Structure 1
């Protein structure tokens, strides 16, 4: 017999995934300790677990996985081959359709681009900001910056200067964090630069005092001066996406939550296994959040969903909670397919948006 930990290590399925597939009736352990509830698996179940892991990586829907495993344990190989072929055809059909659409989009991009008139950055700004406020703003958004080399324009923190306001924004597509602080000294047009993550971290390291600091943008260079110390370097060459088009706060229920209690429930409550977002990219453990009519937020069991639930990446939500800080936070829910907003109680201008995870069932 294999313990659930041994089964996880040998099969390629995480412990949380094995628990989920047990509750879903897909891969039920051979024996469960009636006292401790600990799961034990028979030796012959390892092959099924490895098959399950392969089907999951291939993105097969849970309903089809269930049938494949049922056919695998019997003698009906035609059923298994038919399900595999049907799923492969769906994938190929989806890829062919995506290639056609992407080809059309690339043509539109070629029509929009005119490299002969591309000019270097000529933006310039010099402003003063509060060191503690800038430090808090960087802490509130830094975690959401992307590390995907295929999307270099997201590998930094956007500094968006407009009048007496400085917005800091970071996103990796699955989450976005926005913070706003006051600024003085800039009376010119709006200026936007994306500060690479290493440089933003160097800037954060200078923000230990209470005195105002100076932020200077000169073309493609940005510098932060704190007393006699400075962090300076090149901005990212690529343009950051228009985040204002992406900031659509959910219109639905709002809940005031105790931060420590929600964190504890997320860390100990039920989870679903990671869900494939795209080829080669799988989310971490997923928590299903529900909000009751009285505004109470709970971490729900698998399968007890309705229109008042939303699934999110548990690790991402824990990071957003930690970055927001405070004893209490406001969570805002829209439709199950809409982002979840996490904001501070006394600060409507600093918030995070977390994209929901689509569930297969």
Structure 2
């Protein structure tokens, strides 16, 4: 049997450390003298003490050190614990390098432009769902093949457009840093949507986008494009514009039963929905002959686009704004807004 001083010298652990690991249940002496409290260890415990000393030097948590000591007769299990700890260290080193880089920039008196946004995953998921339908995938329009992210005090706004429609959604958020406007690539936005749980932290600056969710981290380089200014389109209701609240399920059902009116663009056929207001102020679906007879009284839009906008706006009630045959049709929900370009007769 070995005394505590001998174990300390043989293992590299101090006497106080051996007492600590005894109290933690990690390395309990084989015998403790009830009168003097003197600890004695078996020869096999020297090897365990050396293992504890090594794991302590690399910063392994006490609980994991205890698991490693308990599994000494199963080397494969101990090696698995070592691999897990190494991954944690590597992740920590990556984070440390990033923070040190930012500190160097501060010391060089460069302006730190990163903005951090924190918000519930459910809120970001709802905002992405509300705008994704309007994103362009046309390779000839790279400036539109993404999701615009705008961070302002207390809010994150998402915008997409494909020239024929535009969608905007806002979510309350905790924002630290200056206002920022970046365009996230669509693959990044789609991958993020699949991982949304708990709380999401977004780091945005002109050179990088980082998203962290529980157990996941995504990065992307913002698109170097000049995204259209959506604010001039998302304007207050114009004087004379007609606004009406509609029940989404009811309007969807009526759209499904209406006689199709077909148009063609670039060789692709699509159905048109023709909207008008009846004398009571309710939205009515019109036939093509009525549209032809009085185009000024109707607003016509791509039927599929309208259905997608209704879905993105929510399942309850939405406000439609009809402002003449050459103005976009606006669909307003709670925290969401989309416009559909009109179809001329």
Corresponding residue for residue 319 of structure 1: 308
Could you say what secondary structure the match of 1:284 adopts? strand
- 1:269-301 CA-partner distances (Å, limit 9, x unpaired): 02221243xxx3656111111112322112111
The answer as to whether partners of 2:169 and 2:336 remain within 8 angstroms in 1 is: yes
The answer as to whether partners of 1:270 and 1:287 remain within 8 angstroms in 2 is: no
Corresponding residue for residue 351 of structure 1: 337
Q: TM-score, normalised by structure 2?
A: 0.63
Greater RCO structure (CA 8 Å; 6+ sep): 1
Corresponding residue for residue 328 of structure 2: 339
Task: State the 4+ residue runs in structure 1 displaced beyond 3 angstroms.
Answer: none
Could you say what secondary structure the match of 2:245 adopts? strand
Choose from 221, 227, 230 the match for 1:243: 230
Q: TM-score, normalised by structure 1?
A: 0.60
Could you say what secondary structure the match of 1:140 adopts? helix
Corresponding residue for residue 177 of structure 1: 167
Corresponding residue for residue 126 of structure 2: 136
In terms of Rg, which structure is larger?
Answer: 2
Choose from 186, 194, 207 the match for 1:197: 186
Task: Report deviation, 1:342.
Answer: 1.0
Check if 1:328 corresponds to 2:314: no
The answer as to whether partners of 1:250 and 1:340 remain within 8 angstroms in 2 is: no
Instruction: Give unpaired runs (5+ residues) of structure 1.
Output: 1-120
Listed as ranges, the matches of 1:60-71 within 5 Å are none
The answer as to whether partners of 1:271 and 1:288 remain within 8 angstroms in 2 is: no
Q: Hey, what's the Cα distance between the residues in 1 that align with 2:154 and 2:226?
A: 22
Instruction: Give unpaired runs (5+ residues) of structure 2.
Output: 1-110
CA RMSD of aligned residues (A): 1.9
Check if 1:163 corresponds to 2:157: no
Could you say what secondary structure the match of 2:219 adopts? strand
- 1:111-145 CA-partner distances (Å, limit 9, x unpaired): xxxxxxxxxx9842112112111110000001100
The answer as to whether partners of 1:141 and 1:169 remain within 8 angstroms in 2 is: yes
* Count of residues in correspondence between the two structures: 230
Choose from 131, 142, 157 the match for 1:152: 142
Choose from 183, 190, 213 the match for 1:226: 213
Q: Hey, what's the Cα distance between the residues in 2 that align with 1:310 and 1:238?
A: 32
